[in-house]
């Protein structure tokens, strides 16, 4: 997390929801964890490059 200086510009980035079945197997949970990590990395990259 990066805290901006007071009165500076900021941006909120969000992605599509990631749904996990309540009865997911361990393998399905690992796949969803990987999907979440990739989505967070993608959104972090977008946020880091948003203002140039």
Tell me phi and psi for residue 31, to 5 degrees. -65, -45
Q: Domain map of the chain by residue range?
A: 13-52
d(CA 20, CA 31): 10
Question: What is the DSSP track for 1-52?
Answer: --PPPTT--------------TT--HHHHHHHHHHHHHHHHHHHHHHHHTT-
pLDDT digits (tens, 9 = 90+) for 20-50: 999 999 999 999 999 999 999 999 999 989 9
In this prediction the pTM is: 0.78
Q: Is residue 19 scored above 90 in pLDDT?
A: yes
pLDDT value at position 11?
Answer: 86
């Amino acid at each position: 997390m990066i805290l901006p200086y007071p009165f500076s510009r900021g941006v909120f980035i969000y992605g599509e929801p990631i749904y996990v079945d309540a009865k997911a197997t361990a393998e399905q949970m690992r796949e969803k964890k990987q999907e979440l990590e990739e989505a967070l990395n993608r959104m972090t990259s977008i946020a880091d490059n948003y203002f140039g």
